[in-house]
Amino acid sequence: METLDEQLQRAYQQYSLQADDLQKNIFLNNLYHTNETLFFRLIREHIQEMMPIIYTPTAGLAIQHYSDEFRKPRGIYLSYPERDHINEILDHWDANDINLIVLTDSEQILGIGDQGANGIGISVAKLVVYTLCAGINPRRMLPIMIDVGTNNPQLLEDPFYLGWRHHRISSAEYHQFVETVINAIKEKFPQVFLQWEDFGKKNARCHLDRYQDSMCTFNDDIQGTGAVAMAALLNALKITGTPLSHHRVLVYGAGTAGCGIADQIWEQMIKEGLNHQKAYSRFYLMDRQGLVTSNRENIDYFKAPYARSSSETDEWDRADDPTRLLDVVRNIHPTILIGTSTVHGAFNREVVNTMAAHVERPIIFPLSNPLTLAEATPDDIIHWTQGRALVATGSPFSDVEFQGKFYPVSQCNNALIFPGLGLGIISCQAERVSAGMMDAATLELANSTTDKTRLLPEISQLQEVSKNIGVAVARQAILEGVALNRPDQNVENLVESNIWEPVYMPYQPLNIPAK
């Protein structure tokens, strides 16, 4: 007979003996399979240490090794060859048992690209964070992998690969299959909250635009990333004292995340009084082809509003190249530089110093994951700018010491926003995810930073922050009339009643009379 606390001590000792982060991730996932209560209690007790192991950045490494290290399945694979049996597969679950689904097709996992069927690992990791941070019942959530093939040659040639060994299907087949899956989910789980996760940039935006008005759905890579970056930026603006509408924003990496962040900042500029076109004029977006300009052919529709005039670069020095980050920085003098490019070291000393020469407090967010793909390290940025830069990162970094002073480094971790959003939605049974609900979550996150020198709360505060975001989101949903559950009790009590705790339930003997 052992108490949960005694089991915790043994589990932590076993965890500590693991050779590296990947082995620690494998150990924790094995514990998840065997003792769910102990698993969540362990990582909750050591959230600062274990969050990077069970989620980013180690989750990416674990996904790359998923087929090699496979132990036990978790979640559902909806494979294209089984497209005529989707309803039959989903019928294994009762409609009232599932509140939340994380759905992926694994085309663009973190910063490591197409991981095929191995991508189920990101759906599982997201659901772990929902429970860890917001207390959503783990037995009422479902990770789903849409297996439509993979274009990753290493996986196709790997004899241990667990997925459908086939190149990704055509666009027409793909969208028809996704529609089949979504219709089946809507029919089976009409009140479910569905999160899109790590879809390719074109499909991610397309799915969100197509389905967000017909079901309660959310894309963490677009909306979640944008909300967290916006919250950090709101706090940075409090330090600089310069209104957002006066800033020039350069987004380096105009994909799903980068454009999602740009959209959030653009909307905030509109709220501050700029008209639509004037707000767009404050942005410069760069992708693999360089500065996004209007003379491109087949420009992605979500980038088009941000495209600069093709004649704008004609005024630059002839030696400057609009495909090079340094030349763009030299010519446009950005005050906010955001990296979502996964180009390691892109924000080098010359780029940072060129930017800092024209702004007193440069705001620099190298947000790419994992650590090996970050555009710059906070230590370098702080030293290069003599401590003037305001920095937030995508991966976890330690605070920086420079000339005897410590500079806090906040992590723009989506775990700061999506668990609380899900908690609020599930608590009030919201029918949609509205712009107002996202705004409420963003503002609550920004206001949750008690240390005014930090741009975002620390990971250790995740549970409190998630609960407060849940209350703000549920309150906004009720106010907008999109909540099916509008309680007589106060919203705080409603949200608290939906928080699951990792404790053992007592067993009691039943006196059943003999027949």
Phi then psi for residue 259, to 5 deg, are: -70, -30
How far is it, in rounded angstroms, from Cα 408 to Cα 505?
41
Residue given tokens 């994951």 in the structure block? 369
Paired sense of beta strands 249-252 and 336-339, if any: parallel
Tokens of 85: 């049996």
Closest CA to 397 of 383, 386, 407, 411: 411
Q: How far is CA 283 from CA 58, 159, 262, 369, 511, in A?
A: 33, 46, 8, 23, 71
Q: Sign of dihedral through CA atoms 268, 271, 274, 277?
A: positive
Spell 208-238 as b/e; 16+ CB within 10 A means b.
beebbeebbbbbbbbbbbbbbbbbbbbbbbe
126 is a catalytic site residue: yes
CB 220 within 8 A of CB 185: no
Helix (H, G, I), strand (E, B) or coil at 331: helix
Paired sense of beta strands 100-104 and 193-197, if any: parallel
How far is it, in rounded angstroms, from Cα 317 to Cα 295?
20
CB 255 within 8 A of CB 340: yes
How far is it, in rounded angstroms, from Cα 265 to Cα 233?
9
Helix (H, G, I), strand (E, B) or coil at 365: strand
**414: which residues sit within 8 A by CB, 6+ positions away?**
220, 224, 225, 228
Q: Which of 55, 66, 130, 252 is catalytic?
A: 55
Q: Which of 15, 32, 66, 126 is catalytic?
A: 126
How far is it, in rounded angstroms, from Cα 328 to Cα 322?
6
Q: In what order do the strands lie in the sheet with 363-366?
A: 290-291, 283-287, 249-252, 336-339, 363-366, 390-393, 410-411
How far is it, in rounded angstroms, from Cα 35 to Cα 114?
31
How far is it, in rounded angstroms, from Cα 95 to Cα 16?
40
Amino acid at 11: A
Residue given tokens 């950090």 in the structure block? 232
CB 37 within 8 A of CB 4: yes
Stated as kind and residue range, the H or E segment containing 506 is none
Helix (H, G, I), strand (E, B) or coil at 216: coil
55 is a catalytic site residue: yes
Helix (H, G, I), strand (E, B) or coil at 52: helix
- The set of catalytic residues is 55, 126
